[in-house]
Amino acid sequence: MVEIISFLKVLEHERLSERLVALRRQLGRAATDGTGPVASPTLVAAAAALLADTYRLISREPGARTLPRLDPRQAVTHRQLATMLRDADLKLDLFKYAHRDHDNDYGDEWLTIEGIEAFREDRKTYPRF
C-alpha cells in the first residue's frame, strides 16, 4: 500500500542514501587494504550511526525490525558490515517504493503531503470577474 509522507522524510531518505553510498565505498577500500578481516572501530561506528538513522526513518514500515542494528563497540568483519549495509540499502529502496507516486497522479516521484497540496493548489480554478 502506498502511503503519503512528509517531504522531510524524502530529504532524509536522500541524505541517508548518499551516506550509504559513501560508506560502502569506504568499506570496499578498507576490505581491499589488507588490514585484516575485522573492520576498524571508526568504520563500525559510522555504520552503526547510519543503521540507526535508517531505522528511525523506516521504523513505521512493515518489516522495519529486520534491519540489523549494530553496537559501535562491536567487532565485525568487513563481510558482515557489507551485508548490513546491503540490507540498509534494500530497506531504503523498499521505503522509496512504498511512498512512490506509481501512477504519476501528482506529477512527482514521491507521494508527499506538500507535493499533493502544491498539485491541488496549481489545479484550482478561480472565478473570472
Residue 36 has pLDDT above 60, yes or no: yes
How many domains, the chain? 1
Are 87 and 67 in contact by the 8 Å Cβ rule? The answer is: yes
Which position has the higher pLDDT, 113 or 57? Answer: 57
Three-class DSSP category at 6:
coil
Residue located via cell numbers 502506498: 2
pLDDT of 129 over the 60 cut: no
Interatomic CA distance for residues 57 and 17, integer angstroms: 12
Instruction: Indicate the helix (H) or strand (E) that contains 75.
Output: none
pLDDT, tens digit (0-9, with 9 covering 90-100), for 42-74: 999 999 999 999 999 999 999 999 999 999 999
- For the chain, the first-to-last Cα distance in angstroms comes to 43
Whether 77 is in a domain gets the answer yes
Instruction: Please check the confidence at residue 27 and state whether its pLDDT lies above 70.
Output: yes
Range of the domain at 84: 7-123
Residue 1 lies in a domain: no
pTM of the model: 0.85
Q: Is residue 90 part of a domain?
A: yes
Please, are residues 13 and 91 in contact by the beta-carbon 8 Å criterion? Answer: no
pLDDT at 101: 82
Grid coordinates representing 113 are 503531503
User: Is there a domain that residue 2 lies in?
Assistant: no
Question: With 70 as the cut, is the pLDDT of residue 1 above it?
Answer: no
Q: Is residue 128 part of a domain?
A: no
